[in-house]
Structure formats: structure tokens, C-alpha cells
Amino acid sequence: MKKIVWITTGGTIACTHHDDGLSPTLDSKQMLEALGPYQNQAEILFDDLLQIDSTNMQPEEWGTIAQ
């Protein structure tokens, strides 16, 4: 079985709609649930690294991701 490391950083794919617009609120397990039966096609390891909007990502966050 294939292995996938799923690293979340927030961003568009993790956003949900709120009264004041979109904000990253979904973690990797919530996104995995959206895959339905496809989630069993590989062994998926999670790392919820950041939870910020991608437009707010700065060099400090890039450093965190690189480490």
C-alpha cells in the first residue's frame, strides 16, 4: 500500500465560509473524510503544521515548513 504524508498549512483548500468571509478551519482529518471511499487507497500520515490563510503566510512560516 502506498504511503502519503499529508501536511496542512491552512490556505484555500482548508477554508470554510463564515459571516466575515473565508478562513482556514479544516484540519487534515476533516479533509480526509471528504475523500469518502478513496481514503482507504493509501496509508495517510497527518501533520497539521499551520492553520493560516495563505495570503498571510510570511517568511517565518516558510521557515517552519522547510524545517
Out of 12, 16, 25, 64, the active site residue is 12
In angstroms, the CA 21 to CA 67 distance is 31
Instruction: Note if 12 is an active site residue.
Output: yes
Exposure letters 25-46 (e unless 16+ CB within 10 A, then b)? ebebeeeeeeeeeeeeeeebee
What are the catalytic residues? 12
